[in-house]
């Protein structure tokens, strides 16, 4: 029987596949998971859709990396459902781990699968369905409740399993050290994308809408998710960089023009120096446990810098630098130390 016929049978209507568990067993698992993870039953039920709909990741990979659809589908052992045009990924769907529990984080793991499969294919230069199934079987081997959160700290157990599944299929991995490096990078960015996409704090309808956007029938799920308030644009850019490194074609960053924005700041040596000055002041405050006396001294020092800079004629970098100092003063006054920590990321 064809893949499309099978898909129609047990996903989108028609003759139903024989259920592996009764409705009461399924509901019991759902209730237990709801109580364990503190997620309302109706929300958790919708979150589970993300474990079903991960075809949208194929769309994201195709658009971000420029991989031809035929090549991508071969790696994932994927095809379209009829008539919905959802993307059905056999190397994910045919694995038993998806039905072993109702914990929310199995949805996150499902969303990482296509990215990991394509990363393994790119590293080994083997673009066959054996690679997609190797990754799916690796997840099958190690899956248990809570494993996703453990893998976020250290994905080595999953990479070990993927390595073994690939070698058992006769897929050569000449440089095991680089393989582990590449797959760790791939899992890291895949988990960042999954963490943003699999929303659990919204209303059930929004969760379901987001999940269905990941079915693969939407040409550009990134822009559609953004309309729901889910912006994975930075992670997609990181995804491009990771795959460039895996393929050995590191992306070259264009040097910023003077005054051009780079992230949250302007490209300027003076601004880099201002950042170091601010971080030094904030570090000194930490050493004094943010004492009132130290706060006064810090504010006085930053105010003096603003006064000195204000004596110059205005230009963009100067005004940005003044704003940086003024913003830091306000954070110190309000004791918003968590926001102050974010200045390190600029």
* Single residue among 188, 213, 247 that ends a domain in this structure: 247
261/276: higher pLDDT = 276
CA distance 299 to 284: 12
Residues 187 and 287 in one domain: no
The per-residue pLDDT for 2 is 40
Residues 179 and 283 in one domain: no
Residues 242 and 265 in one domain: no
Q: Out of 77-86, 186-195, 240-249, give the one with best mean pLDDT.
A: 186-195
The per-residue pLDDT for 250 is 54
Band (pLDDT 50/70/90 cuts) for residue 17 is very low
CA distance 253 to 78: 34
Least confident of 13-22, 110-119, 306-315: 13-22
* Single residue among 247, 275, 299 that ends a domain in this structure: 247
Q: Across residues 326-340, what is the average pLDDT? A: 86
Assess if residue 108 is contained within a domain.
yes
Residues 86 and 235 in one domain: yes
DSSP state letters, 6-49? HHHHHTSSSSPPPPSS-HHHHHHHHHHHHHHHT--HHHHHHHGG
Residues 162 and 271 in one domain: no
257/191: higher pLDDT = 191
Residues 185 and 269 in one domain: no
Assess if residue 256 is contained within a domain.
no
Q: Is the dihedral of CA 185, 187, 189, 192 positive or negative?
A: negative
| The token pair that represents 266 in the structure block | 């302007």
Assess if residue 57 is contained within a domain.
yes
Residue 241 in contact with residue 230, Cβ under 8 Å? no
Range of the domain at 150: 3-247
Assess if residue 72 is contained within a domain.
yes
Residues 221 and 293 in one domain: no
Q: What percent of the chain has pLDDT over 90?
A: 56
152/272: higher pLDDT = 152
pLDDT tens digit sequence for 24-65:
787 888 899 899 889 999 999 999 999 999 999 999 999 999
The answer, yes or no, to whether the previous bond of 11 is cis (omega within 30 of 0) is no
Number of domains in the chain: 2
Band (pLDDT 50/70/90 cuts) for residue 257 is very low
Assess if residue 199 is contained within a domain.
yes
Assess if residue 203 is contained within a domain.
yes
Q: Across residues 102-118, what is the average pLDDT? A: 94
315/71: higher pLDDT = 71
The per-residue pLDDT for 7 is 44
Residue 50 in contact with residue 110, Cβ under 8 Å? yes
Assess if residue 338 is contained within a domain.
yes
Least confident of 93-102, 259-268, 313-322: 259-268
pLDDT(75) > 80 = yes
The per-residue pLDDT for 159 is 97
Assess if residue 275 is contained within a domain.
yes
Residues 330 and 219 in one domain: no
Residues 121 and 266 in one domain: no
* Single residue among 216, 247, 278 that ends a domain in this structure: 247
Least confident of 97-101, 260-264, 285-289: 260-264
The per-residue pLDDT for 22 is 56
Instruction: Share the mean pLDDT of the chain.
Output: 84
Least confident of 94-103, 181-190, 248-257, 283-292: 248-257
Residues 241 and 271 in one domain: no
- CA 294 to chain centroid, in Å, comes to 40
Residues 205 and 273 in one domain: no
Residues 288 and 215 in one domain: no
pLDDT(20) > 60 = no
Question: Which DSSP letter does residue 18 get?
Answer: P
Specify which residues 87 forms β-bridges with.
Answer: 80
């Amino acid at each position: 029987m064809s893949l499309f016929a099978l898909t129609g049978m047990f996903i989108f209507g028609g003759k139903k596949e024989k259920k592996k568990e009764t409705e009461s067993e399924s509901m019991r698992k759902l209730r237990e998971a709801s109580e364990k993870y503190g997620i309302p039953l109706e929300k958790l039920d919708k979150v589970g859709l993300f474990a079903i709909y991960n075809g949208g990741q194929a769309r994201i990979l195709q658009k971000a990396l420029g991989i031809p659809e035929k090549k991508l589908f071969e790696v994932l052992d994927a095809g379209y459902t009829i008539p919905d045009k959802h993307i059905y990924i056999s190397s994910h769907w045919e694995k038993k781990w998806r039905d072993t529990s109702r914990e929310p984080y199995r949805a996150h793991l499902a969303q990482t699968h296509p990215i990991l499969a394509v990363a393994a294919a790119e590293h080994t230069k083997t673009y066959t369905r054996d690679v997609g199934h190797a990754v799916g079987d690796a997840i099958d081997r190690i899956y248990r409740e809570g494993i996703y959160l453990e893998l976020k700290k250290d994905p080595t157990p999953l990479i070990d399993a993927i390595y073994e599944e690939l070698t058992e299929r006769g897929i050569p991995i000449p440089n095991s050290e680089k393989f582990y490096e590449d797959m760790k990078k791939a899992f890291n960015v895949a988990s960042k994308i999954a963490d943003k996409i699999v929303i659990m704090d919204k209303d059930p309808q929004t969760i379901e809408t987001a999940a269905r956007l990941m079915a693969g029938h939407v040409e550009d799920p990134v822009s559609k998710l953004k309309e729901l308030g889910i912006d994975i644009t930075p992670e997609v850019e990181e995804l491009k960089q990771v795959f460039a490194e895996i393929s050995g074609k590191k992306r070259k960053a264009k040097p910023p023009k003077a005054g051009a924005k780079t992230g949250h700041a302007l490209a300027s040596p003076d601004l880099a120096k201002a950042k170091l000055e601010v971080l030094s002041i904030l570090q000194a405050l930490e050493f004094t446990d943010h004492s009132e006396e130290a706060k006064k001294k810090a504010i006085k020092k930053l105010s003096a810098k603003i006064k000195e800079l204000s004596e110059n004629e205005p230009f963009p970098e100067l005004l940005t630098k003044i704003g940086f100092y003024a913003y830091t003063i306000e954070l110190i006054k309000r004791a918003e130390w968590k926001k102050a920590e974010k200045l390190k990321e600029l």
